[in-house]
Amino acid sequence: MTTLLQFKNVSKQYGNSTVALSDVNFSVNEGELVSIIGPSGAGKSTLLRCINRLIDATSGEIIFDGADMLKINKKHDLRALRTKIGMIFQNYNLVERLSVFENVLHGRLGYKSALVGALGLYNENEKKQAIKIIQSLGLNEQVYKRCDQLSGGQKQRVGIARALVQEPRVLLADEPIASLDPNSSKVIMDHLKNICTTLGITVLVNLHQLDVALNYSDRIIGISGGRVVYDGLPANLTDEDIRRIYGSDPEALNLIIQKPKEVAQKI
Amino acid sequence: MAMTKTAGPVLTNGGVPPFQEGRIKIRVLSKANIAIRLTMLILAVLTIVGFATFNYQGVHLLKGLMSTLANFKTIFFQPQFAHFTLLEAIYQLFITLSLGVLTTLIGAIIALFLGMLAAENLSNKTVSNSIKGFVAVIRAVPTVLWVLIFAVSAGLGSVAAVIGMSFHSISYLTKAYSESFEELNQGTIEALEGCGASWWQIVCQAVLPSSLTSLISWTFIRFEINFGVSVAMGAAAGAGGIGYDMFMDSAFYYNLHEMGVITYLILIVAMLLEFMSIKIKNKVRA
Ligand SMILES: Nc1ncnc2c1ncn2[C@@H]1O[C@H](COP(=O)(O)OP(=O)(O)O)[C@@H](O)[C@H]1O
Ligand SMILES: [Mg+2]
């Protein structure tokens, strides 16, 4: 198995006082589905955004596909690398007034010259590919609908489609199901798992829900206060580890009462 | 606390004190409410004091009022051409409209770029704040004053009017546009950056499509303003157009009948503009 992504002593400080990540080390293999869990404010979103440089880490190395992301200075090189990294968000972050099709095609912008992309000119191949992906996510009937007419679950699938037309090596998901009902959540998580196993795309997903993480991940990274406090298989996660990750977060304590493995079996 | 027993079911609203006897207030007095009331009161007092202390210079208030009403009657009920024909009037009206279109267009084009630089989500804080501050200062001075200021170097006339009106339009539209741009949430911009999209691609593919309706609405509102200002500029700055004819009718020929014609013409145009703006807004929104 080859390593696709590696964090080496990565730290991130906002301003002078807020330390969001401190000395983070881990690596992710190609084709893995890794969940990053931790309480609110632990630094999960910051960690994901450091990978595609939406946020610049303060120090350390982030090796993605053999290149150190932090050493890339030229805008052009950064855009090229970002095309290899898809991302989806809790709030979907679509252009609500545009159609599903237009939003999905936005995933191709990184491959285009500034002018061609600005004019929204896509070739037939790209459109064909986009339609195929839209269909695979079960959005056939919504292709020309405006995104503000979709349900949350549908919007998130558009987000996934936009990321997939990038033909990414890795998909970053920042709390993708935090705004969804249980049924839609399951659909989205199943899609993510499917993308990982059938397309071989590595998936890194921030989750607030321990039960979902236990059920879907190949590996779990637990962070608390900006530090990695657990890195291992879901099966090896003990109550002790959970307590270390969540501290006294009341929401998580509900889950600690039940044994994690029992929780996992329930889904 | 004494509670009166009622026959019907009693509403219990856990912990919140029950309504007092008497009338139930719909609104709670907020700071803004108090400020509005205070302003109204002060204005009312000033009006009364003003009327009581005016220097009327022998003009009797009632007589003055009566002759003003008589003038209105002439204007509105007996409109009649005297110095020009309908075709000429329409031509002059066209000139006035052109002045409005031209200044709005110049303002819109420049404001589009300034607005992008002034929008916090597309620019950085320093640039955004300095542009916003700069246009706020320009906006604080009325359009007519800008025209007169430019008239110092360009001379009173259409050139000063175009420059002055464009100047104010730029600042007005920059503020309006930048606020429209800022309505697109930061997350969407972040998502497209994450796809590898460039700044111009984000502007054209996300920001402009999202804000198109408001951009058009604001531009049209400014056009309506500029049409009104153009009429005034014809009179005050000699910029030509229907306003100049109106000025001549009122100040030189003292022909209220013809003023009536002009007033109606302007009214028709204003109503057409209003009608068009509603149409455009509906079309863009659909
Ligand atoms: N843009 C920012 N400026 C300053 N502090 C921030 C910013 N973004 C996040 N933080 C802080 O960094 C810490 C980690 O935040 P975040 O990565 O969003 O955590 P999570 O996603 O796990 O909830 C929090 O303490 C948060 O307040
Ligand atoms: Mg977060």
Q: Tell me the pLDDT tens digit for each residue of B81-99.
A: 888 888 888 999 999 999 9
Find which of B190, B201, B202 to mutate to test the A interface (most A CBs within 10 Å of its CB). B201
Report whether pLDDT(B15) > 60.
Answer: no
What are A190-201's pLDDT values in tens digits? 999 999 999 999
Residues A157 and A181 in one domain: no
Domain assignment of residue A37, yes or no: yes
Residues A72 and A7 in one domain: yes
Domain assignment of residue B121, yes or no: yes
Q: Phi and psi for B254 in degrees, rounded to 5?
A: 50, 55
Report whether pLDDT(A210) > 60.
Answer: yes
Domain region containing B221: 75-285
Among A144, A166, A188, give the residue marking a domain's end: A166
Domain assignment of residue B187, yes or no: yes
Give the whole-number percent of chain B exceeding pLDDT 70: 92
* Mean pLDDT estimate for chain B: 86
Tokens of A152: 């949350």
Distance from the Cα of residue A145 to its chain's centroid: 25
Residues A73 and A185 in one domain: yes
In terms of residues, how long is chain A? 267
Q: What CATH number should be reported for the domain holding residue B263?
A: 1.10.3720.10
Q: For residue A226, which atom of ligand 1 is closest to its CA?
A: 14
User: What is the C-alpha separation between B34 and B29, in angstroms, rounded?
Assistant: 7
Query: Mean pLDDT, to the nearest integer, of B249-256?
Result: 84
Q: Whole-angstrom distance between the N-terminal and C-terminal Cα of chain A?
A: 29
Residues A214 and A149 in one domain: no
Domain assignment of residue A230, yes or no: yes
| Amino acid identity for residue A46 in this structure | T
What are A19-75's pLDDT values in tens digits? 999 999 999 999 999 999 999 999 999 999 999 999 999 999 999 998 899 999 899
**Enclosing H/E stretch for A5:** strand A3-14
What are B165-180's pLDDT values in tens digits? 999 999 999 999 999 9
B74: burial class by Cβ within 10 Å (0-12, 13-18, 19+)?
Answer: middle
Cα torsion A90, A96, A102, A108: sign: negative
Please tell me the distance between residue B88's alpha carbon and the centre of ligand 2 in angstroms: 67
Q: Is residue B11 very low, low, confident or very high in pLDDT (cuts 50, 70, 90)?
A: very low
User: What is the C-alpha separation between A221 and A203, in angstroms, rounded?
Assistant: 13
Q: What CATH number should be reported for the domain holding residue A237?
A: 3.40.50.300
User: What is the C-alpha separation between A219 and A217, in angstroms, rounded?
Assistant: 5
Higher pLDDT, A232 or B77: A232
Domain assignment of residue A91, yes or no: no
Residues A140 and A197 in one domain: no
Report whether pLDDT(B110) > 60.
Answer: yes
* Mean pLDDT estimate for chain A: 91
Chain B residues inside the 8 Å CB shell of A86: 194-195
User: What is the C-alpha separation between A133 and A162, in angstroms, rounded?
Assistant: 9
* Contact (CB<8Å) A94/B188: yes
Of B185, B192, B210, the CB nearest to A106: B192
User: What is the C-alpha separation between A1 and A32, in angstroms, rounded?
Assistant: 10
User: What is the C-alpha separation between A95 and B184, in angstroms, rounded?
Assistant: 8
A178: burial class by Cβ within 10 Å (0-12, 13-18, 19+)?
Answer: middle
Among A137, A166, A195, give the residue marking a domain's end: A166
Q: Is A220 helix (H, G, I), strand (E, B) or coil?
A: strand
Identify the contact set of chain B against chain A, taking CB-CB distances under 8 A: 184-185, 187-188, 190-198, 200-201, 203-206, 209-210, 212
Measuring from atom 11 of ligand 1, which residue has the nearest CA?
A: A20
* Contact (CB<8Å) A118/B201: yes
Lowest mean pLDDT among A66-70, A181-185, B6-10: B6-10
Searching chain A, which residue's CA lies closest to the CA of residue B284? A97
Report whether pLDDT(A225) > 50.
Answer: yes
Domain count, chain B: 1
Residues A74 and A182 in one domain: yes
What's the Rg (C-alpha) of chain A? 19
Residues A180 and A207 in one domain: yes
Write down the pLDDT at residue B84: 82
Domain assignment of residue A89, yes or no: no
Chain B residues inside the 8 Å CB shell of A94: 188, 191
Report whether pLDDT(B9) > 70.
Answer: no
Write down the pLDDT at residue A217: 96
Give the ligand whose atoms come closest to the C-alpha of residue A17. Answer: 1
Report whether pLDDT(B13) > 70.
Answer: no
pTM of the complete model: 0.82
CB pairs under 8 A between A and B: 91
Report whether pLDDT(B133) > 90.
Answer: yes
For A17, half-sphere exposure in the C-beta direction (CA atoms, 13 angstrom radius) is 0
* Contact (CB<8Å) A118/B187: no
A156 in contact with chain B, both atoms CB, cutoff 8 A: no
Q: For residue A44, which atom of ligand 1 is closest to its CA?
A: 22
Write down the pLDDT at residue A132: 96
Residues A151 and A21 in one domain: no
In Å, how far is B281's CA from the nearest CA of chain A? Answer: 15
Of A87, A117, A163, the CB nearest to B197: A117
Domain assignment of residue B160, yes or no: yes
For residue A3, what are the CA distances in angstroms to A28, A66, A71, B198?
A: 6, 9, 19, 29
User: What is the C-alpha separation between A102 and A111, in angstroms, rounded?
Assistant: 15
Cα–Cα–Cα angle for B228, B116, A107, rounded to 5 degrees: 130
Tokens of B24: 């139930």
What are A119-163's pLDDT values in tens digits? 999 999 999 999 999 999 999 999 999 999 999 999 999 999 999
Whole-complex ipTM: 0.90
For ligand 1, mutation pick of A46, A56, A223 (most atoms within 8 Å of CB) = A46
Write down the pLDDT at residue A183: 94
Residues A243 and A160 in one domain: no
Q: Is residue B1 very low, low, confident or very high in pLDDT (cuts 50, 70, 90)?
A: very low
The pairing of strands A33-37 and A219-224 is parallel
Domain region containing A184: 3-84+168-265
Domain count, chain A: 2
Measuring from atom 17 of ligand 1, which residue has the nearest CA?
A: A43
Write down the pLDDT at residue B7: 47
Cα–Cα–Cα angle for B39, B44, B48, rounded to 5 degrees: 150
Q: For residue A38, which atom of ligand 1 is closest to its CA?
A: 22
Residues A180 and A79 in one domain: yes
Among A151, A166, A181, give the residue marking a domain's end: A166
Residues A59 and A172 in one domain: yes
Higher pLDDT, A217 or B25: A217
Please tell me the distance between residue A38's alpha carbon and the centre of ligand 2 in angstroms: 10
Residues A144 and A215 in one domain: no
Measuring from atom 4 of ligand 1, which residue has the nearest CA?
A: A14
Domain assignment of residue B20, yes or no: no
Q: Is residue B26 very low, low, confident or very high in pLDDT (cuts 50, 70, 90)?
A: confident
Domain assignment of residue A93, yes or no: no
Query: Mean pLDDT, to the nearest integer, of B244-263?
Result: 86
* Contact (CB<8Å) B196/A79: yes
